[in-house]
Amino acid sequence: MKVLEIMRRIKGFSTPLGGLDWEAPVPQRAVAEKVIVFLEDRRVLTMPRAITHAVGDPDHCVASVFQIRETLTRILMDPDTGGEVAEHLKAMRAACRRFLNSVDHDHSAHQHVHDLEEGAIFGAALGEFRAVIGIQLGVMAARYKLELPEELAAILPATEADDE
C-alpha cells in the first residue's frame, strides 16, 4: 500500500501526549465528478437551443451562466483543486465570461431578445458556450475515466458517425 493511499484512509492519530489530525487532499477525479454533477442540472447546457429561444427567457440563461461561473470560481479557490482539472475549470470559466460579454455588456441589466439580430447574437454565443463546455467536459471525462450523463453528452463535439 502506498503512502498516499494510507494517508487517504487515515485522517489522524492520537498519543497520550497529543494528537495530529489532517484532511487528505481531494483527488482531482473527485473534483471533476463534483463539477459534472453540478453541470448536469444546468438547463442552459442541457435544454435544446430551439426550446431556449421558444421559451423567450434569455435572462434565465444569463443567470445560470453567472451561477456556473461563480461555482467554478469557488471550486478553483479550494486549495485541493489544482493540476489538470483546474485548467479545464479555468477554460469553462473563460467561456462563461465570453458568453456574458457577448449577451450582457454591463452584466447588470438583462435584456430580452426581441429582434432577429439580438436573437442571432444570443444563439451564437450560447452555441459557442455549450461547445467549449462540451469539449472541456469530454476531455475531463476521458482523462479521469468518468461517465457523462446523457444530457451533458449531448453537448460533446459531434463525430463523423454522428454526421451520417
Q: How many domains does the chain have?
A: 1
- 68 closest CA partner among 136, 121, 118: 136
Instruction: Give pLDDT tens digits for 37-53.
Output: 999 999 899 887 655 55
In a domain, 94, yes or no: yes
What domain range is 118 assigned to?
26-157
- Which cell is 20 given? 495530529
Residue found by looking up cell 444546468 in the block: 42
Instruction: Give pLDDT tens digits for 93-148.
Output: 999 999 999 887 543 444 444 566 677 788 888 989 999 999 999 999 999 899 99
Mean pLDDT of 6-30: 58
Cα 8 to Cα 29, 50, 77, 83: the distances in Å are: 14, 46, 22, 19
pLDDT at 93: 97
- Which cell is 92 given? 469553462
In a domain, 17, yes or no: no
In a domain, 121, yes or no: yes
In a domain, 13, yes or no: no
- 47 closest CA partner among 141, 117, 157, 126: 126
In a domain, 18, yes or no: no
In a domain, 9, yes or no: no
In a domain, 12, yes or no: no
- Which cell is 43 given? 438547463
In a domain, 95, yes or no: yes
- Which cell is 73 given? 470560481
